[in-house]
Amino acid sequence: MATPTVNLPGLTRRRLLVICGILAGTLAVTSLVSLSLGAVSIPVWQVLTAMIKWVMGAQDSIPSEYRLILFEIRGPRIVLGMLVGAALAVAGASFQALLRNPLADPYVLGVSSGAALGAIVILIIGRPAEPFLPLAAFLGAGATIAVVYWLGQKAGQLESNTLLLAGVITASFLSAVIMFLMTTLSGRELRGAAFWLMGDLSTPSPLWLLWLFGVLLVGAVGFVYGVAADLNVLLAGEREATHLGVDVARTKTLVYLCASLMTGLAVSASGSIGYVGLLVPHLVRLLFSSDYRVLIPSSALLGAMLIVLADTLARTVVAPTELPVGAVTAIAGAPLFIYLLRKRSMG
């Protein structure tokens, strides 16, 4: 029997590498520009020279003011932004598959608020921030998604609109609880708590925390990437996925834990930055592919890039003061959410 020729849009290793290469390149350029911009602007070639010297170990030959700005102020902040952006974007893509809902996002579903509540409780009971704060944020994220998942069911079926509504209501409820708790805080702590509500990268993070964050993030993204093909099938429906050989319960548990961990990490480091988890996976679907084997790594890279970009805007547009980065992402993300919602309800 002659095999009919078809030109199917196949995913090849080369295509995957090209996509990731493009995104990684864009991320590198964005980071370079971000390093050079600020209250003191440093020419890009100076930034490059300094970075090469730093990598070569010749740190003493870098002018001291550049060294301070690049490697102790802007550098860690950019790295943190990348980690937060990647975590939120992959968490968003994961929640979209887990809940079979294209509008799922840690912020919209209230997961970020849950994580913020966990973090604020730690602030209030006065425990040391590390390691309790990220842990509480993770638990808050996990508990919230469990509640939203439960509320979003109708007669045992996960119903798309009910789920979104459950998420929005949960987010609003948790924000109210957070507001209530904030009245008990003193002035200095209040500033810290406000930070959880809007999302902010300006608080410097210790280096070891960045490392821990990075390692956990790579692990979580790796686990989700390992079941990326299963997620493609899972989107078509859980019973169908079972018939196509996917262990649905195991896959969902794994993705649920990883997505909650990523959200918890991001929120504990930067407060609740909204809409990244919604915006980034949709951009990737639009630009490249909706195959989760492309979507997971691309979302990580594009999410990192967008947060670095948003944070650069946040700290330069109204200099010398700063916007919270969450305000920037919300201004871009909320209209997109409305657009997607309307497009879906009309389609």
Partner 1 sequence: MNPFGRMANASREAGPKEKDDGSGGSSGVRLPDAAMADLSVAHGGMAVPGELRVEVMLASFAFPQFTLQPLSFTLRSGEVLAILGPNASGKSTLLGLLSGILPPLSGQVRLDGREMSGLDLRRRAQRVAVVQQESPLLFPVLVADYVLQGRHPHLRPLQLETEADYDAVARALEATSAAHLRHRWMQGLSGGEKQRVILARALAQQPEVLLLDEPTLHLDIGAQVDLLRLVRSLAARENYAVAVVTHELNLAAEFADRILLMHRGRMVRLGPPAEVFERELLEEVFETELDVLVHPATGRPRVVLRSEEITDEGGGKTPLS
Q: Which residues of the chain form contacts with partner 1 (CB under 8 A)?
A: 1, 3-6, 8-13, 16, 100-102, 160, 225-230, 232-233, 235-240, 242-247, 285, 290-291, 293, 347
The sign of the CA dihedral 277, 280, 284, 286 is positive
Q: How far is the CB of 235 from partner 1 (least distance, A)?
A: 6
Which residue, 88 or 235, is less far from partner 1 as judged by CB? 235
Which residue, 89 or 123, is less far from partner 1 as judged by CB? 89
Q: How far is the CB of 145 from partner 1 (least distance, A)?
A: 18
In Å, how far are 105, 287, 335, 339 from 342, measured between CA atoms? 17, 20, 11, 5
Q: How far is the CB of 278 from partner 1 (least distance, A)?
A: 14
Which residue, 285 or 315, is less far from partner 1 as judged by CB? 285
Tell me which amino acid residue 60 is: D
Instruction: Give CA–CA dist 18/306, Å, rounded.
Output: 19
Tell me which amino acid residue 300 is: A
Q: How far is the CB of 146 from partner 1 (least distance, A)?
A: 21
Do 242 and 248 meet the contact criterion of CB atoms below 8 Å apart? yes
Q: How far is the CB of 6 from partner 1 (least distance, A)?
A: 4
Q: How far is the CB of 223 from partner 1 (least distance, A)?
A: 11
Instruction: Give CA–CA dist 238/306, Å, rounded.
Output: 32
Which residue, 148 or 295, is less far from partner 1 as judged by CB? 295
Q: What letter does residue 88 receive in the DSSP assignment?
A: H
Instruction: Give CA–CA dist 156/345, Å, rounded.
Output: 23
Which residue, 10 or 320, is less far from partner 1 as judged by CB? 10
Q: How far is the CB of 170 from partner 1 (least distance, A)?
A: 21
- For residue 266, give the nearest of 119, 103, 122 by alpha carbon: 119
CB within 8 Å of 273: residues ≥ 6 apart: 84, 88, 107, 112, 199, 266, 307, 325, 326, 329
Q: Which residues of 8-32 are buried (b: 16+ CB within 10 A; e: fewer)?
A: eeeeeeeebeebbeebeeebeebbb
Which residue, 100 or 127, is less far from partner 1 as judged by CB? 100
Which residue, 206 or 237, is less far from partner 1 as judged by CB? 237
Residue 110, helix vs strand vs coil = coil
